[in-house]
Copies of this chain bind each other. A is one copy, B any other.
Amino acid sequence: MTVRIAVIGAGLMGADHARIVAADLPGATLQVVCDSDAGRARTVAETCGAADVATDPEAAIVRADVDAVIIASPDHTHAPLVLACIRSGKRVLCEKPLSQTPAECLTVMKAEMATGARQVQVGFMRRYDRAYAEMKSALDQGRIGRALMMHNFHRNVATPAADFTGAMAITNSAPHEFDVVRHVLGCDYATISAAQAKRSDAVVAPVVMVLETSDGQIVTIEINNNAAYGYDVRAELVGETASIAMNPVAYTRTDRALAAGTAYDTDWRGRYAEAYRRQNRAFVRFVETGAFPDVAASVWDGYAAACVAEAGVRALAEGRKCPVERVPRPEFYA
């Protein structure tokens, strides 16, 4: 028995998911690749060896030969398509963000709770990254004492679009940090403040956020979408007795021309390939067993990320510290 998966969206991220399902997930089959651009769907389907292609996502979701769905279509379609999956009883892995508004996340939450069981996994794949896992494990096992601070840096070579803004840095780039820090620390955000540097050119300048958690920890997050020098994610978790930090991972270093150097990637795919693989394997087991994976992000986690992003946008616009508001956590997501 194999899990037959429909991948919705055949862009960069969808193509990656299709490849993982087809080549890297024993127990799963790439059944349909769906994209509103039929040619793009066909290219990905042929490259990966999918059984079929489609252009209408809702139709693809309800197909009898589809057991589960991975959503990697444009951000604003995420929540409606997740709702369609819930309606048709198909478990779904939805790329982040679940939605950019907390309100829409709550709609999804209500729909999922109405089914009486977990249906939705949100694609915060960093929870499956070895570095964050080692940090969380060090904290949980008491090897660094109680957590005091977590410092996070997210740097891209350049923004995909010229009209990227500081608010988008908070809503589109920062959610990975918002979620993985919550996951590692095991707590929620109370306040957020944000400041943006000035650049001499037209591209978006870096944003620095400071968050306070409900347990009194300080979290800093830098989002630098035009770092130019490479794709670079860093994190350090500072405890009361010790500190644990992410190492850059480079398999070789080269001595040349009066310098010793290691290479940066141009994007996230190399750094997180293993995390995506583990996340998607966990999803296949979730589909098979119905047991929500320990490490995975839920609809609640997607909602929590949307809440802090919303407060962060306000904090940046108003130049002041803002509270992060949330509804109480339902027992369903305990």
Nearest-Cβ distance from residue A242 to partner chain B, whole angstroms: 4
- A244, B240: Cβ atoms closer than 8 Å: no
A210 to B219, CA, bound (A): 12
The yes or no answer to A114 lying at the interface (CB within 8 A) is: no
Most B CB atoms within 10 A — which of A148, A222, A247, A264? A148
A266 to B214, CA, bound (A): 33
Which chain B residues border A227 with CB–CB below 8 Å? 238, 243, 255
Nearest-Cβ distance from residue A25 to partner chain B, whole angstroms: 7
One digit per residue, 1 when the CB lies within 8 angstroms of any chain B CB and 0 when it does not, for chain A 136-148 equals: 0010000111101
The yes or no answer to A110 lying at the interface (CB within 8 A) is: no
- A229, B251: Cβ atoms closer than 8 Å: no
A284 to B73, CA, bound (A): 33
Stretch at the interface among A3-11, A56-64, A194-202, A286-294: A194-202
Which chain B residues border A246 with CB–CB below 8 Å? 251-252
A92 to B286, CA, bound (A): 35
A241 to B260, CA, bound (A): 13
The yes or no answer to A161 lying at the interface (CB within 8 A) is: no
Picked from B212, B245, B250, the residue with its CB within 8 Å of the CB of A247 is B250
Known: A198-B216, A210-B210. A263 touches B259 (CB 8 A): yes
Residue of B nearest to A147 (CB): B197
Interface residues of A in 199-240 (CB under 8 A from B): 199-201, 205-206, 208, 210, 212, 215-218, 220, 222, 224, 226-230, 232, 238, 240
* Copies of this protein chain in the complex: 4
Known: A208-B210, A212-B195. A252 touches B256 (CB 8 A): no
The yes or no answer to A66 lying at the interface (CB within 8 A) is: no
Nearest-Cβ distance from residue A274 to partner chain B, whole angstroms: 8
A107 to B103, CA, bound (A): 58
- A242, B218: Cβ atoms closer than 8 Å: no
Which chain B residues border A255 with CB–CB below 8 Å? 227, 229-230, 232, 242-245, 264
Nearest-Cβ distance from residue A318 to partner chain B, whole angstroms: 11
- A253, B247: Cβ atoms closer than 8 Å: yes
Interface residues of A in 92-151 (CB under 8 A from B): 129-131, 134-135, 138, 143-146, 148-149, 151
The yes or no answer to A321 lying at the interface (CB within 8 A) is: yes
Which chain B residues border A195 with CB–CB below 8 Å? 210, 212, 218
- A residues contacting B by CB (< 8 A) are 23-26, 129-131, 134-135, 138, 143-146, 148-149, 151, 157, 193, 195-201, 205-206, 208, 210, 212, 215-218, 220, 222, 224, 226-230, 232, 238, 240-266, 319-321
Q: List 28 A-B contacts (CB under 8 A).
A: A23-B26, A130-B251, A131-B251, A131-B252, A135-B252, A143-B254, A143-B256, A144-B254, A148-B199, A157-B258, A197-B218, A198-B215, A198-B217, A229-B242, A229-B256, A229-B258, A230-B258, A230-B259, A242-B254, A244-B252, A244-B255, A245-B253, A247-B253, A248-B260, A249-B249, A259-B263, A261-B261, A320-B321
